[in-house]
Amino acid sequence: MRDERLKYLAKNIKAERIRKGLSQSQLAELIGISKRSISQIEQSRQIPSAFKVFDIANALDIPIEELFKNISK
C-alpha cells in the first residue's frame, strides 16, 4: 500500500510541475534541492519529507492537498 501511495504522490508532483510549465531543474532550484532529487521523487525512488512536500506545493503555488489527490486512505 505504501508504494502505491508514493506512486500517486510522485505522479501528482510531476503532473503539477508540467502543468505549471516548469522543468525539474527549475522546480529543484525553487525549493533548494538537486534536479536528481526531484527526478527520484517523481520516479518514486525517493520519499520526500513532509517539509519537502510542503515546499513543492508552495513552489507550484497549489494547496498541498492537490499533491495527495487520488491517494486512498
Of 16, 14, 2, 12, nearest in space to 73 by CA: 2
Does the pTM exceed 0.85? yes
Measure the CA–CA gap between 70 and 73, rounded to whole angstroms. 10
pLDDT of 10-49, one tens digit each? 999 999 999 999 999 999 999 999 999 999 999 999 999 9
Concatenating the DSSP letter of every residue in 31-73 gives HTS-HHHHHHHHTTSS---HHHHHHHHHHHTS-GGGGGTT---
pLDDT at 2 over 70: no
